[in-house]
Amino acid sequence: MRGSWLRGLGAVALAGWMVLPFLPLALWSVAQGWRFPDLLPQAWSVKAWTFVLSPGAGVLESFGLTLFIAASTTALAALVGVPAGRALGLYRFRGKGLVTLLILLPVVLPGLAVVFGLHGILLRLGLAGTVGGVILAHLIPVLPYMTLVMAAVFARFDPGIELQARSLGATPWQCFRFVTLPVILPGLLTGALFAFLVSWSQYLLTLAIGGGRVQTLPLVLFSFVSSGRNDVAGAIALLYILPGALVLLIVSRGVTGRSPALAQGLRP
């Protein structure tokens, strides 16, 4: 009796902890003037949403750009992270510890320390201020996640099934398409979700490398926050948390067992 009561309280506290921070955002986005010490806005308005969703404001455009950058970064990270994770997870080789350290390094080093040197390099390559340059920069924090998730996946992968597939008549491509890919897919999806979210939430790297010319959603959001447009900022912030909320939904489905594949991919 007492236990279930405590558990209920715990659930409410947890839900409150997750949801409450968003409440002011939601209120701000539909408020017309909301001053201390009022508990609720004095007047309501959909002005902020109309502005944010209008084509001329550039917010939707920025949403699309952020989506494009995050998706491209994820795809590139998979292209590099799958073979790298395979090497780390499956094979023993000289210098493996050093390679692992180098891959982990971007997670350990503060981005601020790296970003200006990186800017110089990309400037020389003519990539500073371009979407391509921003994607390259995003790969730095994203790749470690992708690689380490894939290394964990391949550590449990029996490469014998690939040999078996080849011997049963599969071409190298068929072997990847019908054997390797389906087996690593749950882990690959997990890695891709991490990669996407890490890229999606980049502020510093985008600002420094994009030089203000690549306006992703966090940059737009920050400019409205700093200019005191709390209503518009609230609306953009809600848009901004959309992918994260979706991911949480998918992962929680996995954890509850309706999508065991994903839960399996998340297992260490």
Task: Give whichever of 177 and 213 is closer to other proteins, judged by the CB atom.
Answer: 177
Give kind and range of the element (H or E) at residue 162: helix 160-167
- Rounded Cα distance between 200 and 247, Å, is 12
| Shortest distance (Å) from residue 86 CB to other proteins | 17
Strand stretches in the chain, DSSP E:
none
Locus of tokens 């940059």: 219
Task: Give whichever of 99 and 261 is closer to other proteins, judged by the CB atom.
Answer: 261
Contacts of 138 (CB under 8 A, 6+ apart): 69, 70, 73, 198, 199, 202, 205, 206
95 binding other proteins? (CB under 8 A): no
Q: How many residues bind other proteins (CB under 8 A)?
A: 17
Residue 31: strand, helix, or coil: strand
Task: Give whichever of 55 and 160 is closer to other proteins, judged by the CB atom.
Answer: 160
Given candidates 50, 164, 227, 252, which one binds other proteins under the rule CB under 8 A? 164
Do 31 and 43 touch, CB atoms closer than 8 A?
A: yes
Task: Give whichever of 37 and 160 is closer to other proteins, judged by the CB atom.
Answer: 160
Cα four-point dihedral sign 254, 257, 262, 266: positive
| Shortest distance (Å) from residue 168 CB to other proteins | 4
Task: Give whichever of 42 and 174 is closer to other proteins, judged by the CB atom.
Answer: 174
Report 173-192 residues binding other proteins (CB under 8 A): 174, 178-179, 182-183
Contacts of 37 (CB under 8 A, 6+ apart): none
Given candidates 27, 71, 80, 170, which one binds other proteins under the rule CB under 8 A? 170
| Shortest distance (Å) from residue 176 CB to other proteins | 12
155 binding other proteins? (CB under 8 A): no
Distance of CA 230 to CAs 39, 92, 225, 227, 246, Å? 16, 54, 6, 8, 24
Given candidates 46, 105, 107, 163, which one binds other proteins under the rule CB under 8 A? 163
168 binding other proteins? (CB under 8 A): yes
Q: Both tokens of residue 262?
A: 């994903």
Given candidates 165, 189, 233, 262, which one binds other proteins under the rule CB under 8 A? 165
What residues line the site for other proteins (CB under 8 A)?
Answer: 158, 160-161, 163-171, 174, 178-179, 182-183
